[in-house]
Amino acid sequence: MANNRTYTDAIIIHGTKLSSLEELHRLHLNQGIRSESGPTGFHYIIHPDGGLRTGRAIEEIGAHSRGYNEHSVGIVLVGRRAGLQPYTPTAMRVLLGLTRDLQERYYATRPHIVGHSQFSSHDCPGFDVEAWAHTKGLQCKSLLLAS
């Protein structure tokens, strides 16, 4: 693979009102985002019914967080709703399992769980990822130090 990460110290959570992986693929194709393993810039896509789909190959550098792609995994929750709980409980359970698995997989570099909005002006994913991660006992910090 041409474009793999050499280390992974962040797991970045995103959210979108788009309703499916297929819609994301279309959007990313329109933006010119593509890779050997598929057109989306995210590594994982979580649907409201709890369906977990893979996008870009896990070791490949993603295209989801400018300046941070080279050392992070990108997860997106689709089907964002208005309000303080924009994603279904089922989707949040899948997110929790996935982030735990990823923290284990990349244990050596101790990846932190962060929301996209922690280092960008985007209101993404639309909930307080740091607070959520703390209540679930996940390791996180409010800002990434490296870029």
Q: Which residues bind Zn ion (CB under 5 A)?
A: 14, 116, 124
> Rounded CA gap, 2 and 42, in Å?
17
Given the complex with Zn ion, which of 2 and 67 has the nearer CB atom? 67
Q: What's the closest the beta carbon of residue 77 comes to Zn ion, in angstroms?
A: 10
> Rounded CA gap, 106 and 123, in Å?
27
Given the complex with Zn ion, which of 76 and 94 has the nearer CB atom? 76
Q: What's the closest the beta carbon of residue 72 comes to Zn ion, in angstroms?
A: 11
Q: Find the angle CA(68)-CA(73)-CA(79) to the nearest 5 degrees.
A: 105
Given the complex with Zn ion, which of 39 and 125 has the nearer CB atom? 125
> Rounded CA gap, 37 and 104, in Å?
24
Q: What's the closest the beta carbon of residue 38 comes to Zn ion, in angstroms?
A: 18
